[in-house]
Structure 1
Amino acid sequence: MGKKHTNDSFQSGTNDGSDGRGEQDQHQREQDTSAPTPSERLPTLDERNISVLRRVGNEWRRFSGNPEVWRDALPVDPSLGTYPDHAEIRPTRFGRFVRVFLQSEPPTVEATSAAEVPPSLLGRIGYYLKRIVLGAPLKSSAIVHERMRKLVALAVLSADALSSVAYGPEAILAILVLGGSAALTYTPPIAAVIAFLMLTVGLSYRQTIRAYPHGGGSYIVASDNLGHVPGLVAAAGLLTDYILTVAVSVSSGIAAITSAIPSLAQAIVPLGVGVIVVLLAGNLRGVRQAGVIFAAPTYAFIFAIFTLVIVGLSQAAGRGFHPIPPPPLPAMEAVSVLLLLRAFASGSTAMTGIEAISNAVPAFQPVEWRNARTTLTWMVGLLIALFVGTITLIHLYGVVPNAHETILSQLAHRSFDSGFMYAFTQAATAAILLMAANTAYNDFPRVLFLLARDRYAPRTFLRMGDRLAFSNGIILLSVIATVIYVVFGGKTDLLIPLYAVGVFLAFTLSQAGMVVHWWRLRDAHWRRSLFFNAIGCLLSAIVFLTAGLTKFTEGAWVALLTIGLFILVAMRIRRHYDLAAQALALQAGVIEVPQPQRLPALVSGVEAGLAEAEETPEEIHHLVIVLVASLDRASMRALAYAASLQQPVLVLHLSSTEEDAKRFRDYWHLWGDHLPLAVIVSPYRAIVAPIVKYIEVLHWQRPDLTVTVILPEIVVRHWWHRILHGQTASQLRHALRPLPKIVVTTIPFHLPD
């Protein structure tokens, strides 16, 4: 047996699957695949759990007595009545407190946005820096306004795909030059096959958006149609791809800068890390703001490359479109099928990012699916045009890879010399390559959200931050990408072999899932849709197998190993959450209930202001506050313990939305409404601050009371399970400790090994 570790059960709006719906993933997915919510949602109980909740309430009714007795015994007004002046409440060391006010009956209060500035100097500095960088917190209801227009979405979600024009053609040539000058003649045919693959996969994802109008990335499609394990494989491939997208995009952008300014070549690592920090800060500000900030580089790049292609073709027309022969190159190896397949696999990295729009359908303004399909069509059209145009210029100008200058830089020099347009092209290329990582910042946290919703990742990835962005996922992506970038020294050529494997594995599983979907559904035009998805699946599988085999020893094995380890960890996480759900699920007949006794008469008329002056038992007057997130066994044990003390009890619940608050009140009434309940609605998703402020105001009403705060707390057996549960209980203990006459008690609930 391992050492036991504690984690809290009290979370905003949900618990660890305690509604016992481990077998209902498909039903849950049907409910939740619209837009991600700003916080963890209170689970919706099915008929079986509602029946159990009623039976548990009936057991309580036999022992707990008349609910009105408990309400009459309350020595405070749970609706807060009048709110005290700020000066009347003793300040605490906890920084982010908010005011609360009466909203409705039964007693419900809502936390406002008026966050107080921490009293310490360091606290104030940190507070103001955070507000300057991130801006003011947004209400949960503002998520509707944080959607992207098509013009913004095209720039943000297409940056990854379009930026690949800067390194995809070069990746083809980097392999073909090994076969000497003769091998370069295969560049146009290989590029034509890749362009056809772009078109096919793009059409396939249009079908995916039609079938999954609320968002249908590879994880959802593969899970729904192929099973949980293929879904996890697809998710692992996507997450690997998004991490490498950040590292490769940043390294390629820095390479474009050093091609124009060679003196910066020695500083590529600190420059790249600085770019990732800027991306982190920009995306923490929220999806819409990040889109506005990072949209300009995409359109600048589109303009620059189209201008480059037009000018280059005009110059070629003057010589009758006769190609300039490339410089003579010695053959390092024979031109073989294997060499051509390697070049094809390397060039196929130009397709990364095509799935981004299908993943991010909920991020669009209504009508989401229609706007997403339109944006996808424009993205695929632009990608093919830019890619084919660049390959055409490479063929006409006879350029080859250069260790000191990128292919695009060479083309820009040929077309624009060294004038303004050359500088503009290089700047636009560097900017879009650096900002292409923003696509990953949109989709990586979203995939983690979906995994956490299905209990394959820690539930902390369900929550949105102050600016309605998935802050935890964004921070994790930045940290991992920074480590990879630093370890590989910012070298693009070392990262490319790891790149295509994960994304084409996800493409293959997604398209295979869509083939199964259309075969099962067989609605109007299902044969046409199945055909497109089948072709996309076949071509994606060819690229995946080619990349995996030809680049296995170059680093593809790292990506494959990472995917395997991810699946293993995800399955272990799911197993732990399933065991927690079974242990916490309500079961009639095994719930602890209080013993029937009469409530003691309250002593009134005690002089206020005698804080902590009680020296004999009869001088102590109690109020017990029980914090409950959901009605599971851990919460029932805490309620039973509180009621057994035979002191006035108030149950406190916090929700992030009024919808969740209403649902909890409905479940509370189904249970029997045996104890007084107050609900806090926290639209800014804060948990600790509103609870502490509420308790502080209650204590202001009756300073003579000793308030005992009871928290249900999950106890896990292994330290690594702690990251799978929140830390709200420890945060509340720390925040309440400075308040006088506040006692914090935790009721442990031990999870099985």
Structure 2
Amino acid sequence: MTGDDRADGHEGGAERGTVVTPSAEFPPLRPDELGALRRIGEAWRGGASRTDALPVDPTLRRHGERPAPTRFGRLAPIAMFRVEKPDELVAAEPANVPGSRFGRSVTRLRRALFGPPLSSAAVLYERMRKTVALPVLSSDLLSSVAYGPEAMLAVLVLAGSGALGLSLPLAVGLAVLMVAVGASYRQTIAAYPHGAGSYIVAGDNLGPRAGLVAAAGLILDYVLTVAVSVAAGVQAVTSALPALTPLAVPLGVLVIALLLAGNLRGVRVAGNLFVLPTYAFVVAVVALLLAGGFQAAARGFTPVPPDPVPAVEGLSLLLVLRAFSSGAVSMTGIEAVSNAVTAFRTPEWRNARTTLTWMIGMLVVLFAGLTLLFHQAGLVPASDETMLSQLARVTFPSGPWYGLVQAATATILLLAANTAFNGFPRLLFFMARDGHAPRRFLHMGDRLAFSNGLLALAVAAAVILVAFRGHTEALIPLYAVGVFLAFTLSQAGMVVHWRRHRGPGWRRRATLNAVGATLSGLVLVTAGVSKFTEGAWVVVVAVPLLVLLFRAIHRHYRILHRSLALRPPSDAGPSGAAASEVQELPQEVRHLVVVPVARLNRASLRGLAYAASLSQPTLAVHIAPEEPEADRFREQWRAWGDHVRLETIVSPYRAVIGPLAHYLEALHAGRADLVLTVVVPEVMVRRRWHRPLHSRTEKRLRAALRPLPGVVVTSVPVHLTE
């Protein structure tokens, strides 16, 4: 690819592309928001002004003596931070240690399982080199040859053993499809060097709805990748060790948990863990192909007649297309490289394209070679043993080689789900960045991995695995529809991209992407129609439901942004500020402090003292269950000195939270410009088992008041000393 080619592609893809860093959670302000911020700042002058005369040193630089131990144990606050810039402290790792004994134990366990936290600056060092990225991102693609050819033959055998000969021309057609889609994705990576997933490509070129449809298909694909890969891996284990068959589902869930733990340790560590198994599988299958090829050559390449199998279905074009779409599941995982471009070391786009080229070449060789050997050995799909296991038994009738092939196959199938653990969180990252997924998926965990996305994938895949009882055959019909939906939209989007930008050679590129889109669309329609009743209807129904969910999330974030955004001034209000900005000006805020008082004790008096110290109008409210109790409380209040205005509410039905919430709502309705600050005294117990001994009225009150506009709830804790 020339420099001009990359420049043309970069121009189209850089708008949506972004470098994946922890700062993505905090997008910068738009120019109009910066203008509004300056306007609000100007209006602050004359109101509450900044002062540096604080009772403590916020920089922690003037402590002459080492402070006393704190709740963090033997660590002192000055030891938790280092000063690198004026008025800026950098937190050290121990500052994240929770104060409770239980919290510290949990933290130590997390450190033991996942390793110490990584600094945000280490995100560049967590990227993968090509030799690591190849096995990490190709594990799904390469492992699918262990069940993809068998899935194709399992459909053909329905027409009898005589139809198995069609596997060779179908394998040629699938090889063409693999090369076409792979070459198309090479172009996609060049055009979108900061992230080339179907969601981004389809959204940019075909519209947001097409992007969401592609994202829905990919999400289902990634979840099913984990479920299918783990189920196939467990099936490979049980083929060699039939005694473990009853434990297939628990073993699958355990493998998902181990994959989750490995990926939570970070991209680079997880990559190093999965390098050897992938390369071992490639070596094992290549050795199997060579040995099987020599045996076939010794027979003069005369195929062994397969065992006769009666036909249960007539040979038809629909059956052939079903077999083609079933074999096409071997292509799942091509998308992973385009989604993970930013996970490569620089130059990212070039390393990603090179890795994808090697992946496609290895896939074509392994898929075509295994299909040819299945035909040469006369093997027929069986319910109790995989075809790869049968081929290994025939090729290596003695010695340890059969066991090594099965061990490598089982390992790669179990670890193939790691491709989804790389792609799924990054897809959710891009969607969350655009407001189509919860923003928690923007967050990077301690090890610079997208922990929330990893957890969501593991839980969803475990549910699917348990629901289908670990049967690969039941999961594969769901598999092809989602992934080829994403393939089709991505390649169609690239055709529009090239027509829109019209760089050098755009017609050739558009033609290549159009071929990929056409072939992918053919597989999509065939799989959707032929396997609709076998389970593909689940995907057909799930995709629009997911799209509706994404749109609802985006609608919520759009409302949130409209409510919280710094708007440019429109109508001049008090102090020269815009009317919409009045509540952001300290001189325009009017307070009423309300203190709910159940009984006069140390907790309530501390709350009253705190409220009075704010030097704002203060009101105390007491809820009494009957008149005599209200009279007694008023007498106690007068004995205290009646320093704060008291309002007593009698609740004859003994409800407390409801009457108080309605009363505060009525106060706010009387003065909509009034900010009600509710000061809630709260008793803090030292041990968890003490909590059920208290009514926890404070938490219930806070939950009831939270929805009320213009109401601020603050807690005054009173800690028990024993």
Deviations 1:453-512 (A, max 9, x none): 000111000000000000000001000100110111101001001000000000000000
Number of the residue aligned with 2:540: 560
Number of the residue aligned with 1:54: 38
Change (3 A) 1:189 1:471: same
Equivalent position amino acid for 1:50 in 2: L
Change (3 A) 1:334 1:99: same
Q: 1:595 aligns with which of 578, 582, 587?
A: 587
Q: CA deviation at 1:103?
A: 2.6
Q: CA deviation at 1:39?
A: 4.5
Q: Is the 8 A contact 1:353 1:439 kept in 2?
A: yes
SS in structure 2 opposite 1:114? helix
SS in structure 2 opposite 1:426? helix
Deviations 1:410-440 (A, max 9, x none): 1001111142111110000000100000000
Q: Is the 8 A contact 2:265 2:447 kept in 1?
A: yes
Equivalent position amino acid for 1:555 in 2: G
Matching of residue 467 in structure 1 with residue 447 in structure 2? yes
Change (3 A) 1:174 1:457: same
Matching of residue 265 in structure 1 with residue 245 in structure 2? yes
Change (3 A) 1:568 1:411: same
Alignment of 1:481-560 (within 5 A): 481-560=461-540
Q: Gaps spanning 5+ residues in structure 2: where?
A: 1-9, 570-577, 590-602, 617-701
Alignment of 1:358-507 (within 5 A): 358-507=338-487
Matching of residue 113 in structure 1 with residue 86 in structure 2? no
TM superposition outliers: structure 1 runs of 4+ over 6 Å: 26-29, 92-98, 611-624, 713-718
Q: CA deviation at 1:172?
A: 0.6
Q: CA deviation at 1:301?
A: 0.6
SS in structure 2 opposite 1:173? helix
Equivalent position amino acid for 2:170 in 1: I
Q: 1:332 aligns with which of 277, 299, 312?
A: 312
For CA contacts below 8 A with separation 6 or more, give which structure has more relative contact order: 1
SS in structure 1 opposite 2:587? coil
Q: CA deviation at 1:574?
A: 0.5
Alignment of 1:226-305 (within 5 A): 226-305=206-285
Number of the residue aligned with 2:673: none
Q: CA deviation at 1:38?
A: 1.8
Q: Which has the higher helix share?
A: 2
Number of the residue aligned with 1:678: none
Deviations 1:588-640 (A, max 9, x none): 3121223399xxxxxxxxxxxxx99989979987799xxxxxxxxxxxxxxxx
- Stretch deviating more after TM superposition (122-131 or 348-357): 122-131
Equivalent position amino acid for 1:64 in 2: G
Cα distance in 1 for partners of 2:75, 2:538 equals: 44
Cα distance in 2 for partners of 1:76, 1:620 equals: 22
Change (3 A) 1:28 1:464: farther
Aligned length in residues: 597
Cα distance in 2 for partners of 1:399, 1:614 equals: 83
Q: Is the 8 A contact 1:441 1:474 kept in 2?
A: yes
Matching of residue 104 in structure 1 with residue 85 in structure 2? yes
Alignment of 1:126-275 (within 5 A): 126-275=106-255
Q: Is the 8 A contact 1:101 1:109 kept in 2?
A: yes
Q: CA deviation at 1:273?
A: 0.7
Change (3 A) 1:430 1:561: same
Equivalent position amino acid for 2:483 in 1: V
Q: Is the 8 A contact 1:35 1:363 kept in 2?
A: no
Equivalent position amino acid for 2:377 in 1: Y
Q: Is the 8 A contact 2:306 2:379 kept in 1?
A: yes
Number of the residue aligned with 2:692: none
SS in structure 2 opposite 1:109? strand
Q: 2:17 aligns with which of 33, 44, 49?
A: 33
SS in structure 2 opposite 1:579? helix
Deviations 1:559-586 (A, max 9, x none): 1211111100110111111111111122
SS in structure 2 opposite 1:88? coil
Cα distance in 1 for partners of 2:207, 2:190 equals: 21
Q: CA deviation at 1:82?
A: 3.2
Deviations 1:372-409 (A, max 9, x none): 01000000000000001001101100100111110000
Number of the residue aligned with 2:574: none
Matching of residue 323 in structure 1 with residue 303 in structure 2? yes
Matching of residue 346 in structure 1 with residue 329 in structure 2? no
Equivalent position amino acid for 2:47 in 1: S
Q: CA deviation at 1:74?
A: 2.5
Q: CA deviation at 1:517?
A: 0.3
Number of the residue aligned with 2:699: none
Deviations 1:669-715 (A, max 9, x none): xxxxxxxxxxxxxxxxxxxxxxxxxxxxxxxxxxxxxxxxxx9x996
Q: Is the 8 A contact 1:39 1:464 kept in 2?
A: no
Deviations 1:13-50 (A, max 9, x none): xxxxxxxxxxxxx9998466232122444332232222
Q: 1:45 aligns with which of 29, 40, 48?
A: 29
Deviations 1:343-386 (A, max 9, x none): 11111101100111111100001110010010000000000000
SS in structure 1 opposite 2:22? coil
Change (3 A) 1:40 1:612: farther
Equivalent position amino acid for 1:367 in 2: P
Change (3 A) 1:34 1:286: same
Number of the residue aligned with 2:105: 125
Cα distance in 2 for partners of 1:586, 1:317 equals: 75
Cα distance in 2 for partners of 1:616, 1:549 equals: 71
Q: Is the 8 A contact 1:169 1:387 kept in 2?
A: yes
- Stretch deviating more after TM superposition (297-306 or 70-79): 70-79
SS in structure 2 opposite 1:355? helix
Deviations 1:236-294 (A, max 9, x none): 00010000000000000001111111111111011111100100100000111000001
Cα distance in 2 for partners of 1:518, 1:717 equals: 52
Structure of greater Rg:
2
Q: Is the 8 A contact 1:64 1:595 kept in 2?
A: yes
Cα distance in 1 for partners of 2:109, 2:496 equals: 51
So what's the TM-score if we normalise by structure 1? 0.75
Equivalent position amino acid for 1:42 in 2: F
Cα distance in 2 for partners of 1:166, 1:441 equals: 20
Q: Is the 8 A contact 1:92 1:739 kept in 2?
A: no
Q: Is the 8 A contact 1:39 1:462 kept in 2?
A: no
Q: CA deviation at 1:550?
A: 0.3
Q: Is the 8 A contact 1:501 1:556 kept in 2?
A: yes
Cα distance in 2 for partners of 1:195, 1:554 equals: 26
Change (3 A) 1:148 1:334: same
SS in structure 2 opposite 1:102? strand
